[in-house]
Structure 1
Amino acid sequence: MARRIPRLETIEAFIEAARAPNFRIAAERCAISPAAFSRRIQAFAAFAGCDLFERTAQGMRLTDSGRACLAALEPTYLEMRRAALEIGLAARPAKVSISLSHSLAVGWLIPRLDRLRARHPQIDVVIRTDRTAAAVRAGDADLGVCAQDVDVSDLVAEHFLDMHIFPVACPAVGETFRAGAGLERLRLLAVIQHPDVWEWWSREVGQPMPGLRAAQTFDILQAMYEASAAGHGVSAASHVTVQPHLASGRLVELGLPAARYPGCYRLAATARRLQSPPVRAVWTWMREEAAADPAPSPELRSAA
């Protein structure tokens, strides 16, 4: 009589136990109780006919026999899991929610959504405008884009985008600047989180102007850009969020250098949410989009 192989969930339990730092985490990854997980490990050990793990001062670790089993099974298991997840992803629509600031949503994400739909037509994106990581922690958002000052210590997080700052204005104000009006003679705008950005920018680009101050501040970048587009002053623009205004011609560059602002944006999620194929697909797509986003040169920029 042919010997029956273990059920797939029993093999999965062994592989997760071998990969996880402890059995409790491995049980969570399998979405079962520790007791049920232990029974699966015992069932696989009985099939293998040998001890797969040994207890040490640092916890459970694989025996030589366990390592041999893992080497034989893991590649095939991972390939089966990848194929099954791709089938599931293609078979049904999915929603992935992204938490990010209003300015990033309007200036960076929304203009790129057509490319996401072309890559993953089965995924619908839900946008939450929140610059904190609260929605990600609470499970109300699958992914978050967080500024450097946001605490992401308990999340999976990685560098996403740098921020480069340079002056922009509406075409009429741009003409005034090119006619000889210096920045100190123009009305300068900034966001309320960085009211000293103009003096900082002038130092960074090697043209220090002590006392250079914003005449008006805004709580979001997009409001500042709209004020500039209406002719109310020169904005300290972030290259990450200002591109739609430049592409439309409502704002133009002044031919001045860009400076990299301290800190960055980070992409964040919980480890559990990243196990979802649609969430992982959007995470990967966002990383690729960010990598393809060219940073401005610190040299003098071409004035429009």
Structure 2
Amino acid sequence: MLDIFLGAISLGLLWAVMTIGVYITYRILDIADLTVEGSIAMGAAIAAKAISLGVNPFAATALALLGGLTAGLITGLLHTKLKIPALLSGILTMIALYSVNLHIMGKANVALLRMDTVYTPFTKLGMSTRDAVIVLGFICVSAVVGILYWFFGTEIGSAIRATGDNPHMVRAQGINTNMMKIIGLVISNGLVAISGALIAQSQGFADVQMGTGSIVIGLASVIIGEVLFGRKSFFSRLLSLALGAMTYRIIIAFVLKLGMPANDLKLFTAITVAIALALPVFKTYLHPIKISIKEGD
């Protein structure tokens, strides 16, 4: 049971970086960005291909970051410069990235067996691969949370947050909201690509299909984090995202332990997200019932 728990924690930490990226677009910018399904696979593809060619794993992960930043930039330009709706812009980039990822890898998947990864320095210290993933995952999540907390407290970061809350007011203040959206999309997909690179090195391969359904996983982690761990301050929200990603993975691990077929996992995730998103509606239905009960008393 402890092995299952620790395994879920290790995977949750890697997906937490992706969850924070999804949060930037979904909550801060109020954009449903489907680019992440392509950029997470792109990060994995770039890192895996670079490592297989002999590039240092940390340099390969940095290259994956650049790939994710580029993907976010393309989506941002499609939306702001060509006036394509944000949702459709993300879909177009996601579709294009499928072919791009195939060209990067040269085939549908690239194996990393017996190759050095970012976890190798930790395993050389005597750690197991799982413990190395937990340690490096914790370091990455802590760094991302700290940097983003600082960045969104700056003038540009505050402008990005304000753009998502009230773009009309922000434009009235002379701020270029299109530029703020582009910056937000670039940062988001950069984080998603880093997550993909770390996941690929953890599981030992990169696959062109690994991004399928990742947006739903990210949304599930965001919602679980907000519901269970609150969102009082911006820093606590960032922490809740990491805890939400780990909690989601723990839930999935125990559901599998209880006998749920692996083929039903995406269905289970979709239903969970749908229920969580519909909670406000359920509350409005229940509220009149409570009032009528009080009046009857």
TM range (shorter): under 0.3
Larger helix share, 1 or 2: 2
Higher RCO, Cα 8 Å, sep 6+? 2
Rg larger in 1 or in 2? Answer: 1
Larger strand share, 1 or 2: 1
Calculate the TM-score normalised by the size of structure 1.
0.22
Calculate the TM-score normalised by the size of structure 2.
0.23
